[in-house]
C-alpha cells in the first residue's frame, strides 16, 4: 500500500457511490440555524426549569426565617412565576415536536418553519415578561427574610406588600415598577434575539436569497 494507491481507491470508492440529488436540507447538519434554535431551546428549557424549581425551595433549604406573610407571598409569587415559565416550556416542547417533522429542504418549508418559530417566540416573550414582572415580590420577601444567624431584617415587607404607603412611597413604587417592567421587556427582547433572533434572521436571509432566484 502507498499513498498513490490510496488516492486511486478513494476516488474509485467515491465514483461508485450512488449519486444523490444535492439540496440544501436544514433538517440535517449540526451548525445550521435550525439546529442552533433547537439546541438553544432545549438548553433553556432545562436550565430555566431547574432554576425556578430551585428558587421555590430556596428558603427552606437555607433555613431562612420568614414571617407568615413573607412566606406566603414568596410561595404564591414563586409558584405563579414557575407556572408561567413552565407554560412557555410546554410551548417550546410542542414547537420542537412539531418542527422535528418539518423537511426543511424547500423554500416553502423553511418559510413555514420561520412562521412557527416567530409565533412561538412571541408567546415565549409574553410568558417570560409576565413571569419577570411577578418576581420583585418574592425577591423582596427573600431579602426581608432573616438568616438563621442574624435574625429578621427590618425591610418592612408587610408595609410595602399591603400597600400601606404614603404618597411619596406610592409614587416611588409605581416609578420603580415602570422602570423595572421596561427593563424586563428590553432584557427579554435582547435575550430572545441573542438566543434565537439572529438564527431566524439567517433563515430569513436564506429564504430571501432563494426568493431572489425565482
Partner 1 sequence: MKEKEFLILIEAHSGILYKVSRMYMDSEVDQEDLRQDIIFQLWKSIDKFKGDSQFSSWMYRVAINTSITFFKRDKKRPDKAEIDPNLNVADNVERDEKESQLAHFYKAVKMLNKIEKAIILLFIEGYSHDQIAKQLGLSNGNTRVKLNRTKQKIKELIKTQGYEF
1 binds partner 1 per the rule CB under 8 A? yes
The string of DSSP letters for 58-83 reads: HHHHHT-B--HHHHHHHHHHHHHHHH
Q: Which grid cell is 104?
A: 426543511
CA–CA dist 71, 141 (Å, integer): 7
Give the contact letters, 193-212, x = binds to partner 1 (CB under 8 A), - = no. -------------x--xx--
List the x/- string, 27-56, binding to partner 1 by CB under 8 A.
-xxxxx------------------------
- Closest CB to partner 1 among residues 28, 198: 28
Question: Of 76 and 206, which CB lies nearer to partner 1 in the complex structure?
Answer: 206
Alpha carbons 104 and 97: distance in angstroms, whole number: 14
CB of 9 to partner 1, least distance (A): 5
37 vs 204: CA distance, rounded Å: 14
Whether 110 and 207 have beta carbons less than 8 Å apart is answered as yes
Total residues binding partner 1 (CB under 8 A): 30
Binding positions for partner 1, rule: CB under 8 A: 1-3, 5-7, 9-15, 17, 19-20, 22-26, 28-32, 206, 209-210, 213
Amino acid at each position: 500500500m502507498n499513498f498513490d494507491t490510496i488516492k486511486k481507491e478513494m476516488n474509485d470508492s467515491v465514483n461508485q457511490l450512488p449519486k444523490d440529488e444535492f439540496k440544501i436540507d436544514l433538517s440535517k447538519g449540526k451548525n445550521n440555524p435550525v439546529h442552533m434554535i433547537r439546541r438553544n431551546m432545549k438548553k433553556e428549557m432545562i436550565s430555566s426549569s431547574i432554576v425556578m424549581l430551585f428558587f421555590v425551595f430556596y428558603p427552606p433549604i437555607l433555613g431562612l426565617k420568614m414571617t407568615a406573610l413573607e412566606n406566603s407571598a414568596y410561595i404564591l409569587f414563586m409558584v405563579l412565576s414557575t407556572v408561567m415559565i413552565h407554560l412557555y416550556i410546554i410551548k417550546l416542547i410542542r414547537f420542537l415536536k412539531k418542527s422535528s417533522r418539518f423537511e426543511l429542504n424547500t423554500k416553502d418549508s423553511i418559510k413555514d418553519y420561520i412562521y412557527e418559530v416567530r409565533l412561538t417566540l412571541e408567546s415565549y416573550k409574553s410568558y417570560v415578561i409576565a413571569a419577570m414582572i411577578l418576581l420583585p415580590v418574592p425577591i423582596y420577601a427573600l431579602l426581608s427574610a432573616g438568616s438563621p444567624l442574624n435574625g429578621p431584617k427590618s425591610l418592612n415587607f408587610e408595609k410595602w406588600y399591603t400597600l400601606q404607603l404614603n404618597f411619596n412611597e406610592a409614587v416611588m413604587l409605581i416609578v420603580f415598577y415602570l422602570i423595572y417592567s421596561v427593563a424586563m421587556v428590553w432584557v427579554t427582547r435582547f435575550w430572545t434575539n441573542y438566543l434565537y433572533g439572529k438564527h431566524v434572521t439567517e433563515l430569513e436571509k436564506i429564504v430571501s436569497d432563494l426568493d431572489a432566484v425565482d
